[in-house]
Amino acid sequence: MPPILPEAVTTPPSNNDPLDDFELPPDVMSATFEHAISDDAFVTHERGHAVAAALQKALKGSTVEFGFPGIVVAHLASGAVARCGGPTLGWMVDLERKPGRVDTLDVDIPDDETDPKRIAEALAKVLKKK
């Protein structure tokens, strides 16, 4: 009888997964995820600036800015302040007419909407009504 080799004992049985041949080493996977997260954050950030710019055009006499953590803030001509959140917040607007009095308004924007002009139009429509 031939001797049992140590690697034969410690090698787990194959599950015959065809994707095993395509697995990347952990350091490469980590870098890949970091790049994907970074790329997504960049796109989201740029979209926020584009929404703010389009909303600025739609709300004459107001000042609109985009800042951390991804909120578009509109200082309306009436003196009210609107903080507009994105899809992670469910597309809502917190409208503060007087200090300490905040009304939360829902905005009819699909979570998968990415066109800054359409997003700004929907936000402006809600803000012009109030």
Quote the pLDDT of residue 46.
Answer: 83
Q: Does residue 10 carry a pLDDT above 60? A: no
Taking residues 1-16, report their average pLDDT.
Answer: 58
Single pTM value for the model: 0.66
C-alpha separations of 75 from 4, 14, 69, 86 in Å: 77, 62, 17, 18
pLDDT confidence band for 34 (50 / 70 / 90): low
Higher per-residue confidence, 15 vs 77: 77
pLDDT confidence band for 82 (50 / 70 / 90): very high
Q: Does residue 53 carry a pLDDT above 90? A: yes
**Do residues 78 and 103 touch, judged by C-beta distance below 8 A?**
no
